[in-house]
Amino acid sequence: MIVTSLSLEQFRNLDSLHLTPSPGVNVIYGENAQGKTNLLESLYYLSLFSSFRASHDRELVRLGAESALLSASVQTEERERVISVCLPVSGRRSITVNRVRAARKADAAGILKCVLFCPEDLTLIRGAASLRRRFLDDAISQLWPNYLSLLSEYQKLYQHKTRILKDYHEAPSLLDTLDDFSARMCSVAASIIPYRERFCAMLAKAAAAEHAAISSGQETLSLTYETVSTIPQPGLPPPRLYELLWQHYVSHKAAELASGSCLSGPHKDDLLVTINGLPAKLYASQGQTRTAVLSLKLAQRELYFQQTGEYPILLFDDVLSELDRGRQEYVLRGIGRGQVFITTCEPDLCRELAWETEGSGQMGVFHVKHGSVF
């Protein structure tokens, strides 16, 4: 899978950009606040139609503009498709694939598959469980787009139920619908959990292999998917999962009413990461934490290859400078597979990568300055 062209209009600080990337390694260099990350953000947005930095689409539109346009040609072994998105400041976005409008974002999600590694990911291991859920949700949605539809439905139900729990004191009649919303959440959750369980099982094997290679066999990485306490085996059939989810809801109903928040469901799930048998969140050193995050990202990339036969686009947003020499070398040795975009403030990296790709003719170098690419 490669992006053969990328066009942006009024996206962030990028006024008008038309890029023809190399099918191999693409280095995007320049000083801070010039637009390097914005370029990577556009590729990521075209994969899942959500930003890894912004909460609302309107934040992606250049100040003073009425809308932003993003378009990329994506070539796979099967065919070439053009994904385009219009993001208006007011109104709904429109997504098209080969000029045919997609009714739902799930209909176009994952056509362009990306694995992103940015500085914020270094908090993935030690940060809140929500960060690890976001990692899982984004990764699974690209691999199995139907999961994105389930996730969207669950989030809508969650928002409705939260409003009931917060407002029922002023409008007691809202409680008449509480069990119904909870039952529907349990039903959708019973379909979400098997996706997460399946992905985490595959990820655990791939990440363990990556971690062992990076640490030269000195450390063992393990992953465990943790969902609601009444579910001992997340791989159970959905009807049985529904029963266990409903049981958990009933036992927490009084607490939910008292707290005014949803306490039961996969929105509380977590991914437990251990290194040499110890919880990484509590005991991992800074170096071990970085190795674990790198292992997860490279494992995600490998899983996509195993499932589709093609490597996804790899996006490195100014993180090589955050890694020590050993981890840098490990990454550089592996970037020859698939298309890669790397942003950096260090022009010297261009020369180093040129040495890594010498003779392949598979390298592009782009200088970003004041929102323009040279």
Could you tell me the CATH number of the domain that includes residue 202? 1.20.1050.90
- Look at residue 181 and tell me whether its pLDDT is greater than 50: yes
Q: Which of 31-35, 53-57, 324-328, 367-371 has the highest mean pLDDT?
A: 53-57
* DSSP assignment letter at 119: G
**Beta strand spans in 118-246 (E):** 221-226
Check residue 361 and give its pLDDT.
Answer: 52
* Contact in structure between 196 and 266 (CB atoms under 8 Å): yes
Question: Cα(251)–Cα(246) distance, rounded to whole angstroms?
Answer: 9
Dump pLDDT digits (tens) for 255-278: 999 999 999 999 999 999 999 999
Q: Which domain holds residue 51?
A: 1-113+312-374
Element (H or E) spanning 131, and its range? helix 129-143
Helices and strands (H, E) in the chain, number of each type: 9, 15
Q: Looking at the structure, do residues 93 and 196 belong to the same domain, yes or no?
A: no
* 215 and 341 share one domain: no
Q: What is the pLDDT of residue 359?
A: 44
Above 50 in pLDDT, residue 348? Answer: yes
Contacts of 229 (CB under 8 A, 6+ apart): 248
Which two three-digit tokens encode residue 140? 């699974």
CATH of the domain at 19: 3.40.50.300
Final residue belonging to a domain, choices 302, 337, 362: 302
Question: Both 225 and 318 in a single domain?
Answer: no
- Whether the CB-CB separation of 6 and 17 falls below 8 Å is answered with yes
Residues 131 and 239 in one domain: yes
Residues 287 and 156 placed together within one structural domain of the fold: yes
Does 174 lie in the same domain as 75?
Answer: no
In a domain? residue 307 = no
Distance between CA atoms of residues 355 and 285, nearest Å? 32
Q: How many domains does the chain have?
A: 2
Sheet containing 340-344: give its strands across.
114-117, 313-317, 340-344, 25-29, 363-369, 372-373
Section 131-137 average pLDDT: 96
- Asked which of 269, 302, 335 is the last residue of a domain, the reply is 302
What is the reported pLDDT for 351?
59
Please check whether residues 284 and 144 belong to one and the same domain.
Answer: yes
Express as a percent the part of the chain with pLDDT over 70.
96
Percent with pLDDT over 90 in the chain: 76
Helix (H, G, I), strand (E, B) or coil at 348: helix
Instruction: Say if residue 300's pLDDT is above 50.
Output: yes
Rounded to whole angstroms, how far apart are CA atoms 15 and 64?
11
| Average pLDDT estimate for 47-73 | 94
